[in-house]
Structure 1
Amino acid sequence: MLRKSSTEESRLTVLHLVQPVEGGVARVVTDLVAAQVRAGLRPVVACPPGGGLAEGAAEAGARVWAWPAERVPGPRLAREVATAGRLVRVCAPDVIHAHSAKAGLAGRLAVRGRIPTVFQPHAWSFEALEGRAAGLAEAWERFGARWSDRILCVSESERHAGQRAGIAARWSVIHNGVDLGRFRPAPGDATRSARASLPLLADVPAGAPLAVCVGRLSRQKGQDVLLSAWRRVRVPGARLVLVGEGPRGGELRRGAPDGVLFAGAARDVRPWIHAADVLVLPSRWEGMALAPLEAMACGRPVLLSDVNGARESLPPGHLPHCLVPPEDPAALASALTALLGDAGLRAELGSAAGAHARSVFDLTRTSGAVLRLYQELVGQSRPTTRKRTER
């Protein structure tokens, strides 16, 4: 059994229990633990092996432990809960931060309120389901809230969705943050340089309008809606690139119209953002999507579906150009055509988006707010250390 050193004993220990190991949740957790390491905390990440999260969190300075867990509840749930409980006993954390529905389920069942627990849904599971399954998910979230010292939402609309579902909880809302040192407007002719660095775009004319969608190829992210809309886009020479992999990858590739390219998963999405004229994300549900915030921080306009967090992401005045109803290919095609066909409008929107992201979505502010939440829950008075007592 691993034991903490005397130095580790003096630092606030946070156990991040996470199921998704790719995509936005993994990037949020990686950014958060990197900030926590810099602040002097001891973050531990327990997640399924493989994928980008384990490697990224380790590089950020977190200790990483394997927690084999499937994405959805199933016959292995009891084993996943038991494993989470063993990890908690070994880690002896001051705070447990469970990310996403599956980790929230297993972590809260394993701990049952014995240790300060933060649950962060990263979009509600019941919004992804229908019928009886959605009802069961809502019922669990209402019950499981008793074992959450705080439910942490990334947007006010995500919190309101939980309240509408009857979840009675102590709530905090802390927007996702962006590492503004990494995601920033590139100097000079950024678009041309970025496109030249991406082999997939070698045969794309330099001036071709380019829309980019960054997200897991899944029902949630709505790439099927985007492909349907793309058939109606009327901009000569325009291209669409889907960046990501996921369970719908094969289906989307088989049904893709002309002008659509598939980049696969990309650990660093910045070249794709800099190459884009517009970042588009037609999600069916979200909490507050991270990729649009990163694109805005790079000075790129975004086009989003009107789901949780989207309106809160956008600068004032952007809604008519940058927001469409979810699952509406015609509206999405119309908005894409307008943005890809108007370079002046894109420049205006991109400039405002960059200023907005840098003033509202700074990762330093986000990580500081999360740390203050931890401090409140453990009742400590110093920023990163506390006098440990026998439990």
Structure 2
Amino acid sequence: MKLGIYCDSSINGGHEEMLKRLMLALADSAKVDTLHVMVPVTNEPLHRFVSELARRAPKTRVVGLSYTAESLSGDLLAFRRMVRSTAVTLRRLDLDKLLISQGTIASGLAGLFAARRAKVPTVSYLPLVHNAPKSASPSDRIKWLIKRVLYRMPDEFVTLNDHLCNELRALAPRSRAMTLENYVDDRFSRSTLTKSAARVSLGLPDDGTYIVAHIGRLNLHQKRQDFLMRAIESHGDSFKKALVLIIGEGEDADCLKDIVSASAVLSACVRMLGAQEDVLPFIVASDTLVLPSAFEGVPLVMIEAVLAQRPIVASRVSGLDCYLPDALLFPADDQDAFVARIFAARDVRIDELSQDFRRRFSREAFNAQAQTLVEREDAKSGIA
């Protein structure tokens, strides 16, 4: 099989980390004859990873994209040019299938439209599923109608769990859908680093201070760090002996900094630490982690935290109740329940959950599941 992977993101975040792991699995597959990976030249970490993979695995070929999704945003003429140009490339490659990395169904569109133009079967990889908007505004209704059309464009979907799989099947009943769960480096479960040692090495207080960490992209729409800030402000007394670490970078970093600096309560207990090369010490140093997102796939930080024997308190969205016990979940808009769960989390036993995650999210399980991508009946040639 000649397989293609397309990613036009300028970001190198959790979604791209999952894509890298899939590339490794597919490069090792005996069913894949050539793996053509299309990534932006300007996304240096991602392009460098693919280039190094191509040096190690001769079947992997790098196709540098001159654009990113973000550079095309709002420029319809540039978008149409890149669709035509990418379609020409796809025809030249003569792929059996193109896997398109889609953080949402509205991302990676240049690749999706180009594949349709070139008549290449497409697989949408890890698109988050959005439900119909509650708002009755005309603009929201129009956006939803457009998304409904987009959901029906890919021939197949690869998503993270059965909950998302069922939602995609409802939105695109004629497209095939399969589940491919995350995997996490087992160093998170093998680390001998203690909480005290981690705090000392990171310069964090080791005097009984209750440390809470949020690790993820700084995006208020999805990750809702602003909801976390409001919850802290409205329960200031609870956080007097606590320290909240915000780890990550993103488009809303400056906005979040302004929110923190404008509040005496937040300034006293919130530290914004930016992106960190290794999050393991911060997970180990924490008493609990938080994930108050509006929507999610299967977040890596959730798996990493549980493997490292640290509880993570998450909003009850996107089927996360399939992974975490009730004691670590809260109704998405309930600040009181959120704060109560944060400080009760230290008493939640997660030993069995950690053992289950170790089996469920292993690299071996992931690689075995990834093989089904190339073993399924191919929509173009009709062969496995």
In the superposition, the TM-score normalised over structure 1's length comes to 0.80
- Call closer, same or farther: CA 1:133–1:178 in 2, change over 3 Å: farther
Give the Å deviation of 1:146. 4.7
Change (3 A) 1:146 1:214: same
Residue from 161, 172, 180 that aligns with 1:167: 172
**Which residue, 167, 179, 188 being the options, matches 1:183?**
188
Task: Write the distance in 2 (CA, Å) between the matches of 1:215 and 1:250.
Answer: 15
| 2:6 pairs with 1:16 | yes
SS of residue paired to 1:197: helix
Cα separation, 2, equivalents of 1:278 and 1:43: 40
Would the alpha carbon gap of residues 282 and 124 (structure 1) be closer, same or farther in structure 2, given more than 3 Å must change?
Answer: same
CA distance in 2, matches of 1:58, 1:133: 42
Distance in 1 (alpha carbons) for counterparts of 2:252 and 2:191: 32
Aligned to 1:374: 374
Moved more, 369-378 or 82-91: 82-91
- Residue segments in structure 1 that go unaligned for 5+ positions in a row: 1-10, 382-391
Mapped partners of 2:316, 2:153: distance in 1: 31
Aligned mates of 2:226, 2:133 — CA distance in 1: 16
CA shift for structure 1 position 177: 1.5
Equivalent residue number for residue 37 of structure 2: 45
1:308 positional shift: 0.7
Counterpart of 2:110 in structure 1 is: 106
Asked whether the 8 Å contact 1:80–1:106 carries over to 2, the reply is yes
Paired residue for 1:323? 329
Q: Which residue of 2 aligns with 1:332?
A: 338
Superposition TM-score, scaled by structure 2 size: 0.81
Task: Look up the match of 1:243.
Answer: 247
Identity of aligned residues (%): 23
Match of 1:210 in 2: 211
**Aligned-pair distance for 1:236?**
5.1
Q: Name the SS of the counterpart of 2:64 in structure 1.
A: strand
CA RMSD of aligned residues (A): 2.9
Relative to structure 1, the CA distance from residue 288 to residue 174 in structure 2 (aligned partners, 3 Å threshold; closer, same or farther) is same
The within-5 A match list for 1:273-284 is 273-284=283-294
Q: CA deviation at 1:22?
A: 2.5
Q: Bigger relative contact order, structure 1 or 2, given CA contacts below 8 A and separation 6+? A: 1
Quote the Cα distance in structure 2 between the aligned partners of 1:59 and 1:208: 43
Q: CA deviation at 1:249?
A: 0.8
Could you say if the C-alpha distance between residues 54 and 132 of structure 1 is closer, same or farther in structure 2, counting changes exceeding 3 Å?
farther
Q: Does structure 2 conserve the Cα–Cα contact (< 8 Å) formed by 1:151 and 1:172?
A: yes
1:233-382 to 2 correspondences below 5 Å: 234=238, 237-256=241-260, 257=266, 258-314=268-324, 318-319=325-326, 321-339=327-345, 342=346, 345-346=347-348, 348-349=349-350, 351-378=351-378, 380=383
TM superposition shift of 1:103: 4.3
Which position in structure 2 is the counterpart of 1:84? 86
CA distance in 2 between partners of 1:312 and 1:168 (Å): 23
Q: CA deviation at 1:305?
A: 0.7
Tell me if structure 2 keeps the 8 A contact 1:104–1:119.
Answer: no
Unaligned 5+ runs, structure 2: 55-59, 261-265
Contact 1:158 1:308 in 2 (8 A): yes
Determine whether 1:192 maps to 2:196: yes
Report SS of the residue matched to 1:365: helix
